[in-house]
């Protein structure tokens, strides 16, 4: 849609929060219209109403952003200055997000559909992540390599250059922070594409950064747009040295190929999952129930690492399943995401809701028993009941394929070897959960599960210094922790022959 849209607009949210929403592209520390003046509407999943419109970037806008980021990397003091200056900037971004936390939480709620309590949790973790990366900015150590008296050898960590980042719609703020934090801490410059369904929080935080003059021009550039235009142009751009992508495995494969074909960009991919959650007979069942609920219904089930395959040991199968179904029917409040007691908000889009309902049909057609939910709520908005399937087999599509919603399958097992075989029978390997009080069993099963993260007696429990990323087709590389910093730097080795320098 062609439009002379203003570069910001006043938005009033259902909870009474009123704020100024940037609508332009953030390039070189300025909000600007897209060159073609195209715009698109941003829809609220909980009301199905238009929140606002924003400018849509295309290839020419990507070129401008990359040019600004390249100039900032080459000419600004950002990369060459004392790393403590980068730390100072990141600490300031964290302070700004914390200070404006309620506005940002409200933006996430209206834009994504998630409950306000989930959104506040995202803001809290985002602040902690930025501070963790800030604290690491001046601790990127190299090594002295001893090879005898004839040479002096050392290594140093250097930034990559301009990095392109493509983030998803399920955690707009959190993915924004997970991406820019380690990239900026290590001295890179950034061009980031937000999701077309949830562009608002990234633009709002960019405005805070602009207003407080936190970063030099061109260090951070944020583009609203669609994957087939903006994402593709960013992935193929010859001056972008790395792509970091979070999203589906299918799209990740395309990006991986394009990065190789363009200029052999470095790549990190955080992709899909179909994570097993294993409850043993000796588990604390009340604690396990809390973890299972958090594992599948948190963030409306729109979580790549959701514990969507539940395995119950036969001794507690009936007892636990009864409690779980009862909780899904009577405890998990679904509805208005701005209400404080809402647990499950709206699905992000009508497309995602229809996908979930289609999988419900697939499951029943395959012969699984629908124990709870599977029905769209009649109110306005993209809401679906918490859904539990029993009587499943490992070959069913609802067990094999990522649904990305509040849908879980339940299976029974007898032995440790049996459940590990089932848990590992997946193309994915992002996460897994174990509920047990037997430390020997916990250590054994954790070692044998083919998953990048294993939560024990908890689930969806993140810490900014604990790396997160998958095995198999769940991706390449890690978010958070020291591993994330390594993914945005490269090692240079220097070998000096002694006695030759003047």
What whole-number distance in Å separates Cα of residue 20 and Cα of residue 254? 37
| DSSP element (H, E) containing 30 | strand 30-32
Calpha distance 236→265 (Å, rounded): 9
Structure tokens at 183: 């990239």
d(CA 105, CA 498): 58
From 254, 195, 257, 205, select the one nearest 226 (Cα to Cα): 195
Among 305, 271, 358, 301, smallest CA distance to 113 is for 301
CA–CA separation, 109 and 114 (whole Å)? 5
CB 163 within 8 A of CB 244: yes
Alpha helices in 48-185 (DSSP H): 59-75, 83-99, 101-112, 116-136, 172-185
Task: Centre a 10 Å sphere on the Cβ of residue 497 and count the other Cβ atoms it contains.
Answer: 9
Q: Are 37 and 1 in contact (CB under 8 A)?
A: no
Assess contact for 179 and 268: CB atoms under 8 A. Answer: no
Say if residue 88 is exposed, middle or buried (CB neighbours under 10 Å; 0-12, 13-18, 19+): middle
Q: How far is CA 244 from CA 277, 306, 322, in A?
A: 28, 21, 42
Note the maximum CA span of the chain. 81
Query: Between the CA of residue 419 and those of 65, 89, 145, 413, 472, what are the distances in Å?
Result: 49, 47, 46, 6, 19
Integer angstrom CA distances of residue 262 from 233, 257, 363: 11, 9, 41
Return d(Cα 408, Cα 324) in angstroms, integer: 11
Evaluated on CA atoms 318, 321, 326, 329, the torsion sign reads negative
d(CA 288, CA 265): 42
Would you give the distance in Å from CA 177 to the centre of its chain?
A: 9
Distance between CA atoms of residues 307 and 324, nearest Å: 14
**Active site annotation includes 394:** no
Write the Ramachandran bin of 366: left for phi over 0, alpha for psi from -120 to 50, otherwise beta: alpha
Residues 343-366, buried b or exposed e (16+ Cβ, 10 A)?
Answer: bbbbbbbeebbeebbebbeebeeb
Which residues touch 29 (CB under 8 Å, ≥6 apart)?
210, 215, 216, 217, 218
Select which of 108, 196, 236, 270 is catalytic.
270
Just list the catalytic residues. 270
């Amino acid at each position: 849609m062609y439009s002379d849209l203003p570069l910001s607009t006043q938005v009033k949210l259902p909870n009474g929060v009123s704020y100024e929403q940037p609508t332009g592209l953030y390039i070189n520390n300025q909000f600007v219209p897209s060159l073609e003046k195209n715009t698109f509407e941003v829809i609220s999943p909980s009301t199905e109403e238009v929140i606002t419109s924003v400018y849509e970037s295309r290839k020419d806008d990507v070129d401008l952003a990359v040019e600004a980021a390249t100039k900032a990397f080459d000419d600004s003091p950002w990369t060459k200055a004392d790393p403590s200056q980068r730390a100072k900037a990141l600490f300031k971004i964290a302070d700004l997000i914390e200070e404006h936390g309620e506005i940002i939480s409200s933006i996430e709620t209206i834009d994504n559909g998630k409950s306000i309590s989930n959104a506040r949790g995202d803001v809290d973790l985002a602040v902690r992540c930025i501070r963790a990366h800030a604290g690491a900015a001046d601790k990127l150590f190299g090594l002295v390599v001893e090879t005898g008296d004839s040479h002096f050898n050392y290594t140093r960590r250097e930034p990559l250059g301009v990095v392109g980042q493509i983030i998803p719609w399920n955690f707009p703020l959190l993915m924004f922070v997970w991406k820019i934090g380690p990239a900026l801490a290590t001295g890179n410059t950034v061009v980031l594409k937000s999701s077309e369904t949830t562009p608002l929080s990234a633009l709002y935080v960019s405005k805070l950064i602009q207003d407080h003059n936190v970063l030099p021009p061109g260090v951070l550039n944020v583009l609203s747009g669609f994957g087939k235009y903006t994402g593709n142009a960013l992935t193929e751009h010859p001056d972008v040295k790395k792509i970091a992508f979070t999203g589906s495995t299918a799209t990740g494969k395309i990006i991986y190929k394009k990065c190789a074909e363009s200029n052999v960009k470095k790549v990190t991919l955080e992709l899909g999952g179909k994570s097993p959650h294993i409850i043993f007979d000796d588990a604390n069942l009340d604690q396990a129930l809390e973890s299972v609920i958090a594992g599948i219904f948190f963030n409306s089930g729109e979580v790549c690492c959701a514990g969507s395959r539940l395995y119950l040991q036969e001794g507690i199968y009936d007892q636990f399943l009864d409690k779980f179904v009862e909780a899904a029917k009577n405890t998990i409040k679904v509805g208005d995401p701005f209400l404080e007691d809402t647990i499950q908000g709206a699905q992000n889009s009508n497309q995602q809701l229809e996908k979930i309902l289609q999988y419900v049909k697939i499951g029943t057609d395959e012969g699984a028993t629908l124990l709870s939910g599977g029905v769209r709520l009649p109110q306005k908005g993209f809401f679906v009941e918490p859904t539990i399937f029993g009587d499943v087999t490992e070959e069913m599509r609802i067990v094999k394929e990522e649904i990305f919603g509040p849908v879980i399958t339940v299976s029974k097992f007898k032995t440790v070897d049996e459940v590990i075989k089932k848990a590992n029978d997946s193309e994915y390997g992002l996460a897994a959960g174990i509920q047990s009080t037997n430390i020997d069993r916990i250590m054994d099963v954790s070692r044998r599960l083919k998953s990048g993260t294993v939560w024990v007696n908890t689930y969806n429990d993140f810490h900014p210094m604990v790396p997160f990323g998958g095995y198999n087709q769940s991706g390449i590389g890690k978010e958070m922790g020291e591993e994330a910093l390594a993914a945005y730097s490269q090692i240079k080795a220097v070998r000096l022959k002694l006695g030759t320098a003047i």
